[in-house]
Amino acid sequence: MSEKSPSNLFKVLNRIARILAIAFAVFISLFALDVFQPGIPFGKILQGLLIHLIPTYIILILLWISWKQPLIGGILFILGGAAYPIMAKGEDLIAFLLIGGIPIMIGILFLAGSGWNRVAK
């Protein structure tokens, strides 16, 4: 194996984590589409859309942090995913796995990518 192999793996893990984080932000954004209903004024729709997109803003902020500092961002993604079941009491197991498990998986990928970066140096 060449010396650059761990560095390439670090890049691949970070890219996969970034792509998953973007896809997760898009997935979460789909839940905001329920504000579009006939008969509601545009101002109310815009207000509801901005409020419903708050989780997406948080995910994008975590992605931005992870892009700059994968170790810190990975920890924040894991904490955010672990906090979801605490905040959403009484949800289904599938909801816990989708909304809470995906950020944990993204965080683990960022942590793994960060670890490989340290090995490569």
Integer angstrom CA distances of residue 24 from 21, 45, 63: 5, 23, 11
Residue 1 has pLDDT above 50, yes or no: no
Residue 58 main-chain phi, psi, to 5 deg: -65, -45
Residue 120 has pLDDT above 90, yes or no: no
Residue 12 has pLDDT above 60, yes or no: yes
pLDDT (tens digit per residue) in 51-95: 999 999 999 999 999 999 999 999 999 999 999 888 888 778 888
Can you give the pTM of this predicted structure? Answer: 0.84
Could you give the number of structural domains in the chain?
A: 1
Which residue range(s) make up the domain with 46?
A: 5-120
